[in-house]
A and B are shown apart, each in its own frame.
Chain A
Amino acid sequence: MLSSPWDAAKDMESAAALAKELGNWNEVSDFYRRASELYMECGRPQPASDALVKAARALEDTIPDAAVQLYNEASAILEEDGKEQMTFDLYCAASSVYVKLEKYSAAATSLLQLGLAADKCNATNSQCKAYLGAIIMYLYAHDFKQAEKCYNDCSQVDAFLRSDQNRCASKLLSAYTEGDIEEIKRLAQSSTVSNLDHVVIKLARKLPTGDVSALKTDAAVEEEEPLDENDLT
């Protein structure tokens, strides 16, 4: 048998690179996908996911939706192979593309998936940074309830509970409930936030978006109702 899927895959990749230079974006993604399939035929999932990542990088600027799709597929291949440690960069890149597309909750979901992958390989630092990044993402989208829910869920993870990022997140959320803009800005400049991914740092520096005082009044109203019930009894 003369078939050699490895060589075929390598040739497909070169074809895709040429298509990229010509600007035929559909062909780029098709060729890279075919190359990835051929690599999987050879039983080599790493080059397969690498091919998809190259495709995603090529399409980031032109067709961001397709790029995100490719990143997710590449991450899925790596996770099937049990190589979650390689997926961190992919999830980071996927979330930055989502941010460019202004789909902040999707970006936060990517970061939470990063957190899950980090949990599987005991990479606690990356996990905590991912969770803090997700919370900041929700706050940037001005979705305070989601941010709080996210924070509550993440606090159940021991590694996050004991970390610096947890304290920073709790201070940020309490600053939001109190409507303290100065505190929010100060926290965004702190070293904990400055160690995150640069996309997240940019978003954090722009906090608070929208009207923080509205959140303050909401929180105050919520506190009053339980008191009323107590008065009636």
Chain B
Amino acid sequence: MTVIDLVMRVDSICKKFDKYDVDKQKNLNAAGDDAFARLYSVVEAGLDAVLQKSEAAKIEKSRATAVATNAEIRRTKARLLEEIPKLQRLAFKQVKGLSKEEREARSDLVAALKDRIEAVADGNISAAKQGGDSAPSASYGGIKFGSTYDGRFDDDYFQQTEESDQFRQEYEMRRMKQDQGLDVISEGLDALKNMAHDMNEELDRQVPLMDEIDDKVDRATSDLKTTNVRLKDTVNKMRSSRNFCIDIILLVIILGIASYLYK
């Protein structure tokens, strides 16, 4: 049996069992019914496409592409939402062969469709998920200084003497100075961190340049090597003694002629 025969047999079998193909029947029925059903199926298809895109955006690893996809989803949603008023108007129109209940059901369908479109996630979540404002960067855990003293000693607990007062004041002064010093250190560390990051990026930038330089220098070296070898061969050929003597004799002759002319 040839391929063509196979194909024809498959086609006839498919035609025979077409009435069992649910999707196809749905499409055939939907089209040609009335304008409402057609538009409804179109909008529903658009909604399915948008849902698929939003699913893809959710699992998308690259954030930049996710943002771009979300913008696209938002635009498509806006376009679909524009079709909804048209659909609503069609739903209220009287179509022959349609009972009153079915018309009301249609407007409910339209409202449900609108809700479904608006419910599609498009990444418009506000950044309320601030992971740990109070945690320092690189989340090395909150660095806590073990200071339980807050300077709030009640007078009930003890009687102040002059010495203890002075001591407490000195303690406060030293603590303030320490805080200032730590602030200065933290600014310095910030500057260092920034410089380190910048240096890191600069080095990353220079790595491909170094690779290029490497390639080019390698090529230049190999060119030089071949040129040197050829030069050596040429010089060896030229250096044969016979040519050398002939050159010297001819030079002497020329000098003799020149001196004769200028005498």
Q: Tell me the A residues contacting B by CB distance below 8 Å.
A: 83, 85-86, 116, 119-123, 125-126, 151-153, 155-158, 161-164, 167, 170, 191-192, 195
**Residue of chain A at shortest CB distance from B134:** A167
Given known contacts A86-B205, A123-B204, A167-B133, A158 and B63 CB-to-CB distance under 8 angstroms: yes
Q: Total interface residues on B, using CB and 8 Å?
A: 26
B→A interface (CB under 8 Å): 63-64, 66-67, 123-127, 130-131, 133, 137-139, 187, 190-191, 194, 197-198, 200-201, 204-205, 208
Question: What are 7 A-B contacts with C-beta separation under 8 Å?
Answer: A85-B205, A86-B205, A120-B64, A121-B204, A123-B201, A157-B64, A158-B63
Given contacts A152-B127, A191-B187, contact A125 B198 (CB under 8 A): yes
Q: By the criterion CB–CB under 8 Å, are B191 and A125 in contact?
A: no
In the complex formed, the residue of B with least CB distance to A122 is B204
- B66 to A162, Cβ gap below 8 A? no
Could you tell me the distance between the alpha carbons of A121 and B194 in the complex, rounded to whole angstroms? 18
- Would you give the shortest CB distance from B73 to chain A, in whole angstroms? 14
- Min CB distance A164 to B, Å, is 5
Query: Which listed residue (B67, B133, B198) contacts A156, Cβ 8 A?
Result: B67
Contacts of A152 in B (CB 8 A): 124-127
Neighbouring A residues of B64 by C-beta, 8 Å: 116, 119-120, 157
Contact A163 B137 (CB under 8 A): yes
Q: A121-B204, A191-B187 are in contact. Are A164 and B126 (CB under 8 A)?
A: no
B171 to chain A, nearest CB (A): 28
Contact between A195 and B204, CB atoms less than 8 A apart = no
Whole-angstrom distance between the alpha carbons of A123 and B66 in the complex? 19
Task: Provide the bound-state CA to CA distance between A191 and B194, in Å.
Answer: 10
Closest residue to B130 on the A side, CB-wise?
A170
Q: Measured between alpha carbons, how far is A64 from B139 in the docked complex, in Å?
A: 44
Residues on B with C-beta less than 8 A from A120 are 64
Contacts of A156 in B (CB 8 A): 63, 66-67, 123, 127
Indicate the member of B126, B138, B201 with the most A CB atoms within 10 Å: B201
Question: How distant is B261 from chain A, measured CB to nearest CB, in Å?
Answer: 42
Closest to B70 in A: A156
Are A126 and B67 touching (Cβ within 8 A)? no
**Residues of B contacting A161 with CB < 8 Å?**
127, 131
Q: Measured between alpha carbons, how far is A86 from B190 in the docked complex, in Å?
A: 25
Give, as a whole number of angstroms, the nearest-CB distance from B216 to chain A. Answer: 12
Q: Is the CB–CB distance between B204 and A85 below 8 Å?
A: yes
Given contacts A86-B205, A195-B191, 8 further A-B contacts (CB under 8 A): A85-B201, A120-B64, A157-B64, A162-B137, A162-B138, A167-B137, A170-B130, A191-B191
